[in-house]
Amino acid sequence: MGEVDVTLDEGQHFDTSRILGMAEVAMAHLDVAEGELSVLLTDDATIHPLNRDWRGKDRPTDVLSFSQIEGEAVPGAPLVLGDVIISLETASRQAAERGHSLDREVQILLVHGIVHLLGYDHEEDDEAEEMEAIERAIHAKLDA
């Protein structure tokens, strides 16, 4: 298995071992089991300026992905996927609105973020369908 680094910002509470397990399943499904991934669990105050500066959206968001995949893979070197940043504040609100647990919402956001790191997007309908199908397959494995 690759390396998954999970950081829990001060004042945030979440079982980081759950993140590790979710990430391992998602990465294995995406054939990047030997990759490196960084996950930050934070709050709205931290994710807001990142969303503003990188996406031009002046508000907090639930998840951001910053891919580090560039150029050709180096044989023998681990694939550095990048960073996934999740606001537990926004995730908590969304979980309540959607009627499921925070754990489930974080799973949804983490999988979405990891799939984005690999270049999948949902701006166009055909791309969105492909991305959603990949996410559904990963969730099926996580929920099994």
pLDDT at position 1:
65
Domain span at residue 87 reads: 3-143
Q: Who wins on pLDDT, 78 or 37? A: 37
Q: What pLDDT, on the 0 to 100 scale, is given for residue 144?
A: 81
Whether the per-residue pLDDT at 76 is higher than 90: the answer is no
The pLDDT, as a whole number, for residue 7 is 94
- pLDDT tens readout for residues 14-51: 999 999 999 999 999 999 988 899 999 999 999 999 99
Concatenated DSSP letters of the chain: --EEEEEE-TT----HHHHHHHHHHHHHHTT-TT-EEEEEEE-HHHHHHHHHHHHS--S--SEEEEE---SSPPTTSPPEEEEEEEEHHHHHHHHHHHTS-HHHHHHHHHHHHHHHHTT---SSHHHHHHHHHHHHHHHHHHH-
Which tens digit of pLDDT belongs to each residue from 94-130? Answer: 999 999 999 999 999 999 999 999 988 877 777 888 9
| Whether pTM exceeds 0.75 | yes
Number of folded domains that form the chain: 1
Q: What is the pLDDT of residue 64?
A: 97
CATH number, domain of 17, equals: 3.40.390.30
pLDDT level of residue 78 (50, 70, 90 thresholds): confident
Greatest mean pLDDT among 13-17, 68-72, 75-79, 106-110: 106-110
pLDDT value of residue 124 = 74
